[in-house]
Structure 1
């Protein structure tokens, strides 16, 4: 018989590709997570995980087990949810900043949907200021987006430095006028980077403007210019340009903003998932709604 605790450790290791991060996520010791995997391997008489000093990856047997393990854990969560009086249910209209669509967001949404099958999740992805406008019109229950330091809207979950990025910093900095790759208005990142350039007197021109982060990233990787992103969300293949080559940028905060009409149980459940995924390693900040 498969042990659900061992399966949970196995799925978390597979997802994070790290025993250390899995132990932090599960609030367990790393040795305990390792023991769970060893016992699961012994019970199945199969090697599930290959681990060396640099990488953690699943074996073919581990890959075969993973979808079944996820399904079993989802069924367990659903069964427990049926007997909880305040189980989230109904329509949940979520707005997420374009910056967050890659990285850990897909896994977060996958887990949330599996945990709460009675929730009808409706996702909107846009620029932070656009999401705020949508919420003001009553179109979104919860928004996870950037805000300027000092903005008191929402509940801050992490603070991040903005950084300059380019595929070839030396080539970009050699240009007489700095080529910019930016979101269109009303992007907060665009506002902050242009304020910094104006203060420093740095000449600039826009070479690419796009609503999609994937489009901006493609332009940056092609060497068209510089892109600004929160440091932890910097796309692969780009290098950071540090001061004094370009001016220091303000930090930003990511915040959860809840509509007054939102279902509190659903918002609480999703907010808990966000803090589990995104706040590790960051100093939390908060301010009243």
Structure 2
């Protein structure tokens, strides 16, 4: 049976080719399952992972998917919180791993990525048209909050806290509404929120 046929300027799968692709995927899945079984994928137990909301929304789902595929019997316990709280939980032995944000790392931490702090606002631009900078900030203690207030004070800019929240969802809502700017990394920028 021919597997490929002319299609436009290239070639495409014939119905027989599409059937073979389905069989090939199943063969590869069984092969992967066997390989993982020999490599220790039968290991069970649990792992407690703490992460900030920033990483829980962007980046962590892909890592969890890969981990679950290679360790299908391990129960993953997730804790989403703030960096300070997660660091304390890690030190207390309540977490096996914590993915947090820091200004600088301590000797017992692994540095993964560096992301600059950005000023983010609604693409509608309402908050940027005001003389006094309206801010949406996480409740204390937050490194972004402290850095933003210090930067504005150093620049002599007038500001007011227009919205406060204990979660990134609250910040997103205030920024999307156009009532405030917020300091964060590019991870918070998405539909409607821009630099």
TM-score interval w.r.t. the shorter chain? Answer: 0.7 to 0.9
How far apart are residue 129 of structure 1 and its match?
Answer: 1.2
Compared CA separation, residues 152 and 169, structure 1 to 2 (3 A): farther
- Contact 1:163 1:229 (C-alpha < 8 Å) held by counterparts: yes
Per the alignment, residue 115 of structure 2 pairs with 160
Label 1:117 to 1:167 Cα distance change in 2 as closer, same or farther (>3 A): same
* Whole-angstrom CA distance in 2 between matches of 1:208 and 1:73: 51
TM-score normalised over the length of structure 1:
0.55
Deviations 1:19-54 (A, max 9, x none): xxxxxxxxxxxxxxxxxxx78x457534xxxxxxxx
* 2: CA distance, partners of 1:152 / 1:86: 31
In structure 2, which of residues 82, 93, 98 is the aligned counterpart of residue 127 of structure 1? 82
Q: CA RMSD in A?
A: 3.0
Kindly tell me: are residues 44 and 116 of structure 1, through their superposed partners in 2, closer, same or farther at Cα, counting changes over 3 Å? farther
Alignment-derived partner of residue 64 in structure 2: 109
Alpha-carbon distance between aligned partners in 2 of 1:82 and 1:180, rounded to the nearest angstrom: 52
Query: Among 139, 143, 161, which residue is 2:94 paired with?
Result: 139
Instruction: Assess, with a 3 A threshold, how the Cα gap between structure 1 residues 122 and 74 changes in structure 2: closer, same or farther.
Output: farther
Residues 213-254 of structure 1: per-residue CA shift (max 9 Å, x gap): 2221121111110022212542321121xxxxxxxxxxxxxx
1:45 aligns with 2:47: no
Q: Secondary structure, in 3 states, of the residue corresponding to 1:159?
A: coil
**Alignment of structure 1 residues 1-289 onto 2, 5 Å:** 41=13, 44-46=16-18, 75-84=30-39, 89-149=44-104, 151-168=106-123, 170-240=125-195
| Contact 2:105-2:111 at 8 Å conserved across structures | no
Q: 5+ unaligned residues in a row in structure 2: which ranges?
A: 1-10
User: SS at the partner of 1:205?
Assistant: strand
Q: SS of the residue aligned with 1:164?
A: strand
| Whole-Å separation in 1 of the counterparts to 2:16 and 2:171 | 46
Bigger CA radius of gyration? 2
Could you list the runs of 5+ residues in structure 1 that have no partner in the other structure? 1-37, 47-61, 241-289
